[in-house]
Amino acid sequence: MLAELAAWRDLPGGGGRAGRSVRDQLERTIKASKPLGGPLAEARVARRLLRTGCDIAHELPTPNGRTCDFEVQVNDRRFYLHVKCPRISHVPRPPLPSCLRVIEQVPRPYLVEVGWRADLDETQLTDLAQAVGRFLHEATIGEELLHRDRAGRVAGNARVVATVEGDRAVVSVHSYRTKAIERVGRSLERAYEQFMPGGENVILVLTEDRMHDQLVDLALLGTHVQRWDRIPRDNRLVAHGRAEDGFWSGQRCERSRVVGWMQLETEAPATRIWHRFPDEPDEPLRELIGIALGIPPA
C-alpha cells in the first residue's frame, strides 16, 4: 500500500482537502487491518477525478443521516458520486448436493457449471435439477439457464462451458455468478440510500475482474428471460428481454439515471457506463460525467 499512498505525490497539493480526507481514510483502514476494498476504490476514483480537472469534496452528509462519497464539480456543473466495491471474487464453492447429481445422468457430453442460492431446500434443489436436465437435452456450448423459484427470484443457474469425454454430463459447482449478481444489486441499493436530494446522483461500481461489467449489467437491467421459441432457430435457446428483477426494472429506484463500472486497478482499467434513458440525453451532463470518470461514450 506504500505505492498506493505514494501515487498522490504527483497531484498538485496532494489533492487538496478532499485528497487528504481520502488518504487519511485509507491509512486508518490499513492501520486497523480492515478490508481495503471501499477505501481503496475511493482513493483510486478520487485521483482519477482530480487528474481529469474536477473539484471534489469527500464524504458529504446527506439529510437522511448518511454520507455521499463525492461531490464532483467542473466549472458550473456538478453531480454526486457514490462509489461501491462489492466483494465478489473468490466465492467459496460448496459441495454438490446429492439431489443435483441427477444432472449427471443426462446423456449429453458437456461440462456444466451449476450454481444455486444457499437458502434452497431439497424440494427447490430438485426443481432446479429437473430444470437443468430439461435445459441440457437441447442446449449447446455457451448457453445458460437462469432458473427462478415460485416467487420469481433467481434460484440457480447452469451454463454449458465445454465438451467432455464420455456420453454424460459432468457437473462443476459454480455458485459465483448468482451470488455475485445479488451482491452487486445490494451495493446499488445501498448507494441509492445515500443519494443527495436536489442533484444528479451517479453510482460507480468497482470490481477486480475485467468481465464483471456483465454482472453489473444483469443486476442493473435485470437477468435475461429465456425460453424455447415456438420455432427454435438452429436448436438454440433464445433470450427474450429482461426479467423484472433489476435495480432499474419498472419504476424501481426512479431517481437513479446513471451507473458506471470500473475495474479496480490503477492503470488503464476497463470501464463502462449505463444511462437509464438513452433516448432522452442530457448531453452536457453526460459529457461531464464521462470526462470526470474518464469513461468514453459508448
Q: At residue 230, does pLDDT exceed 50?
A: no
Query: What average pLDDT does this structure show over 76-91?
Result: 85
Q: Is the alpha carbon torsion for 209, 279, 49, 201 positive or negative? A: negative
Residue 6 has pLDDT above 80, yes or no: no
Indicate the pTM of the whole model.
0.72
- 54-68, 169-183, 191-205, 249-263: least confidently modelled range: 169-183
What pLDDT score does 226 carry?
47
pLDDT at 118: 86
Question: CB of 154 within 8 A of CB of 117?
Answer: yes
Task: Report whether pLDDT(225) > 60.
Answer: no
Least confident of 82-96, 132-146, 227-241: 227-241
Look at residue 265 in the predicted model and tell me its pLDDT: 76
* Lowest-confidence region among 30-44, 129-143, 195-209: 30-44
Least confident of 8-12, 103-107, 211-215: 8-12
What does the buried/exposed string (b/e) look like for 14-41 if buried means 16 or more CB atoms within 10 Å of the residue's CB?
ebeebbebbbebbeebbeeeeeebbbbb
Distance CA 141, CA 135 (A): 12
Q: Which residue has the higher pLDDT, 172 or 273?
A: 273
Give the sign of the dihedral formed by CA 238, CA 225, CA 145, CA 135: negative
Q: Is the per-residue pLDDT at 175 higher than 80?
A: no
Q: Which of 52, 61, 94, 56 is nearest to 78 (CA)?
A: 56
- Give dist(CA 220, CA 75) in Å, integer: 30
Q: Cα(171)–Cα(114) distance, rounded to whole angstroms? A: 7
Which distant-in-sequence residues (6+ apart) come within 8 Å of 268 by Cβ? none
Q: How confident is the model at residue 180 (pLDDT cuts 50, 70, 90)?
A: confident
**Is the pLDDT at 122 greater than 50, yes or no?**
yes
Q: Which pLDDT value is given to residue 87?
A: 84
* Length of the chain, in residues: 298
178 or 53: which leads in pLDDT: 53
